[in-house]
Amino acid sequence: MARLNKTANLVIFGAIGLVVLSQFGLLDDTSNGGGNQPVAPDWTAISAWPGSQADEIEAQPDPNRVYTAIVLDDSGSMGDDITPAKAAVLTAIDAMDPQDQVAVIALNDGLILPFMPVAEARSALPEPLSRVFSDGSTPLTKALQTAREGLAGEAARVGSFGTYRILVTTDGAADDGDRLRSEIEDIARQTPIQIATIGVGIDGGHVLARPDLAAFVSVNDITGLADALRNAIAEEQSFSAITAFGDE
């Protein structure tokens, strides 16, 4: 019976994710992702996700809990914008439900904050985040893989109950576009994880701008990032389709 409940839960949330990311696509087919072939979900893989067991299992997992991995662009192109970008991440966490779980990953610095309750993250994050500076390239694939692995670990600990999201902030194209395309397609095919990206000052297409797989919204400059993140969090907690962030 427990296995049946787990499978039903994953199918339900997987279906919600696909409705959010396909029926409510945010960009038209002129975007970077317009020429890609549709990705069919593997419901057997999704129902079995994450496919591993944790050493310690939460006795009474909360099916309404949201697990969010925030990916922060700390590449050299961010420049002085990294300071307001870090402030925007802190603002986003303040907007989350204290009982939800959050982790923060930087493209180059890697895992800044492992998954923990939002209530604890609010006091734990500022110090390690203060040591993050803009430098290096834009390895989005590695960051997404780290986020995916962290979410899988949390799912194993709670029997896959809950909602799983990756929220990406970036100001430019990935260095590894082909690998990134393969990664987001695999996430859509094999897991119930939902991906939303906020592009800061990006002109033209982006690999993550796939209306069939992920939500992608552009803000003109760094001043719009905080509002975009807050609105993204609000949409996540209401389980509504992410169709717009703020007034951008």
What SS3 class is residue 112?
strand
pLDDT for residue 240:
40
Q: Is the pLDDT of residue 85 over 50?
A: yes
pLDDT for residue 24:
31
Run of H or E residues at 59: none
pLDDT for residue 74:
94
pLDDT for residue 28:
33
Give the pLDDT band of residue 207 (cuts 50, 70, 90).
confident
| Percentage of the chain modeled with pLDDT above 90 | 54
pLDDT for residue 208:
86
**Structure confidence by residue, pLDDT tens digits, 16-66:** 343 333 333 333 333 344 567 788 899 999 999 999 888 888 888 899 999
**Structure confidence by residue, pLDDT tens digits, 16-29:** 343 333 333 333 33
CATH assignment of the domain containing 98: 3.40.50.410
From the list 151, 76, 146, the residue with the least C-alpha distance to 112 is 146
Q: Look at 12-16, 27-31, 207-211 and tell me which has the smallest mean pLDDT.
A: 27-31
Q: Is the pLDDT of residue 10 over 70?
A: no
**100, part of any domain:** yes
Cis peptide before 50 (omega within 30 of 0): yes
**227, part of any domain:** yes
Across 187-206, average pLDDT: 87
Helix axis angle for 140-157 and 177-190, nearest 10°, is 20
Q: Is the pLDDT of residue 215 over 50?
A: yes
Question: Domain range holding 148?
Answer: 2-49+62-238
Find the DSSP H helices in the chain: 2-18, 43-48, 82-94, 118-124, 126-130, 140-157, 177-190, 225-238
From the list 219, 132, 101, 123, the residue with the least C-alpha distance to 171 is 219
**116, part of any domain:** yes
**210, part of any domain:** yes
Q: Look at 78-82, 101-105, 128-132, 216-220 and tell me which has the smallest mean pLDDT.
A: 216-220
What SS3 class is residue 25?
coil
| Cβ atoms of 74 and 110 closer than 8 Å | no
Give the pLDDT band of residue 212 (cuts 50, 70, 90).
confident
**196, part of any domain:** yes
Domain count, the chain: 1
Which pTM was predicted?
0.81
**247, part of any domain:** no
**Using CA atoms, how far apart are residues 84 and 135, in angstroms rounded to an integer?**
15
**104, part of any domain:** yes
